[in-house]
A and B are shown apart, each in its own frame.
Chain A
Amino acid sequence: MTELICIVCPKGCHLKVDEEKDFAVTGNGCPRGAEYGKKELTNPTRVITSTVRVEGGAIRRASVKTSSDIPKGKIFEAMRLLDNVTLQAPVHMGDIVVHDILGLGVDFVATKNVPPRT
């Protein structure tokens, strides 16, 4: 039995995951918690957020996120892909910044509109 705090939403349910019973989850407030509990013990993943450089924009950086969660062990490797990215303004929310991160089928996408500098 492993005790976890659910991170699916800010509520932070206190989960109990039973490894003996095919990772059965109790203490979850919603089905997503059950899914999280199992995944956290078998293949933990996270959504990563950061920024990239923007040229010619009203601000110097555009915020980005992974379009879906990626394995915890790949976080720093994925971050390095952003080091040398420079976008040109305008940037639109949802623009793909890095396609198919590390072959995971997940993209880095912009999470902010950056209009051109006026």
Chain B
Amino acid sequence: MNGCYDVIVIGGGPAGLAAALEARRTGAARVLILERNNELGGILNQCIHNGFGLHYFKEELTGPEYAGRFIAELEGSGIDVLLGAMVLDFNDGKTLHVMSRSHGYQELHAKAVVLCMGCRERTRGAIAIPGDRPAGVFTAGAAQLYMNIEGYMVGKRVVILGSGDIGLIMARRMTLEGAKVLACVELMPYSNGLNRNIVQCLNDYNIPLYLSHTIVDIRGDKRVEQVVVAEVGPDRNPIPGTEMVFDCDTVLLSVGLIPENELSRKAGVQIDRRTNGPVVYENMETSLPGVFACGNVVHVHDLVDFVTAESQRAGRAAALYAQNGEPQGPCVEVRNGRAVNYTVPQHIRTGNVEKFVEIFFRVNNVYRNRVIRISSGGKVLASFKREHMAPGEMEKVAFPKALFPQIADGEITVSVEEEEAQ
């Protein structure tokens, strides 16, 4: 392994695999994937449930199968892979300081870098659940790793806090392996998981979902013995007198994901405080020229298929950057309007768009029969009808290039409006 590459991809999960393959297809001669685990595939390896790939492969796959398709493509592609490799830091000159068991300490150089580090789970400490500190409190993903990769049971009687998808999936997983899941408790009045997961992970197994509830106390000396759950009011504070006690040995937390950007921050990449991910252009380039980002390190996706599509754009752009340098031209800012929590991308270089630009975002509440509107200078440029929108689901609109000439003041706003307002 020589130290100079056209494109170095940091992370060998779904984002990194797609980005590397697309960079190679676009003509990058030397591409390297740096993966910190000893296996490619990232979190998909422990997501053994099905439901992946319906958009991209038009068939329903499990996580390992979805990753397996890309890993199989890598063979013979000429892409280098370094496993067990941790990037300690990199600079805007794109020198990466890397350590690995097989190669020790190395400095590697790239013309373009793609950040694909994914995300991590919020923990008990992040949400400050009071109570004792016994063993038996896991993030849902940690429990999933123990169970699906190692084959260990982490609990027999389980209460799940948060209704994120991993929590819902684990409710079913643990039930199938013989545990009793007593409750899934959600602070918000709606679930943050996909509807289909509530149906087939909770309802199928008669697991109650307590919306507008939270855990107010964890009890246990050595291992969890009890949790106390209470209803919360509109201010999200527990309502005294509504406490319910569950005898259980395990608490799983599915209370949100945070893009893992410590490396990006250290390198000086501008971070959007709404997404906790890098601010990106239409081609997934970050504020550092030649440094791209894609997948859950940019914003937390609901479906891996969308991670793949986004990462292919990033990989392609990285290869083009390595060949041609920075695209030039005017830039449009994307603003968040009513009910829109964030958008990706945040900037669009109009000259770099072929037919349309896809704008991804999440809404701040559950809505029915609304219109997504793209407006500029007080004028509506495009509208998209939606019957159902929820914070747990990523929204996507394709904004046609043909409308770009109507953009005023170099900015567009994405908002969600009542249908009648049309």
Partners in one complex: yes
Q: Which residues of A contact B (CB under 8 A)?
A: 4-10, 12, 14, 46-51, 53, 58-61, 63, 65, 72, 75-76, 79, 93, 111-113
- When the two chains form their complex, are residues A79 and B302 in contact, meaning their CB atoms are under 8 A apart? no
Residue in B54, B61, B177 whose CB lies within 8 Å of A10: B54
Please measure, in the bound complex, the distance between the C-alpha atom of A113 and the C-alpha atom of B198, giving whole angstroms.
Answer: 30
Which A residue's beta carbon lies closest to that of B48? A63
CB interface residues, B 363-422, toward A, < 8 Å: 387-388, 393
B25: interface (CB < 8 Å): no
Residue in B51, B62, B150 whose CB lies within 8 Å of A63: B62
Which B residue's beta carbon lies closest to that of A5? B195
* 9 cross-chain pairs, A with B, having the tightest CB-CB distances, nearest first: A12-B195, A63-B48, A7-B196, A112-B64, A61-B151, A5-B195, A111-B62, A9-B54, A12-B196
Instruction: Chain A residues near B62: list those with CB within 8 A.
Output: 49, 63, 65, 111
- When the two chains form their complex, are residues B199 and A79 in contact, meaning their CB atoms are under 8 A apart? no
B133: interface (CB < 8 Å): no
Knowing A10-B303, A75-B176 touch, does A59 contact B64 (C-beta < 8 A)?
Answer: no
B200: interface (CB < 8 Å): yes
Count, chain B residues at interface, CB 8 A:
33
Which B residue's beta carbon lies closest to that of A112? B64
Which B residue's beta carbon lies closest to that of A50? B176
Instruction: Chain A residues near B50: list those with CB within 8 A.
Output: 47, 49, 65
Instruction: Chain B residues near A79: list those with CB within 8 A.
Output: 176-177
In the complex, 17 of the A-B residue pairs with CB atoms within 8 angstroms, ordered by the A residue number, are A7-B199, A9-B51, A9-B55, A10-B194, A12-B196, A14-B387, A46-B200, A47-B50, A50-B48, A51-B48, A53-B151, A60-B149, A61-B151, A63-B48, A65-B48, A65-B62, A113-B68
The contact string, 1 if C-beta is below 8 Å from chain A, for chain B 296-327, is: 00000011000000000000000000000000
Please measure, in the bound complex, the distance between the C-alpha atom of A109 and the C-alpha atom of B149, giving whole angstroms.
Answer: 17
Please measure, in the bound complex, the distance between the C-alpha atom of A10 and the C-alpha atom of B148, giving whole angstroms.
Answer: 22
Instruction: Chain A residues near B176: list those with CB within 8 A.
Output: 48, 50, 75-76, 79
Which A residue's beta carbon lies closest to that of B41? A112
The contact string, 1 if C-beta is below 8 Å from chain A, for chain B 27-63, is: 0000000000001000001001111001100001110
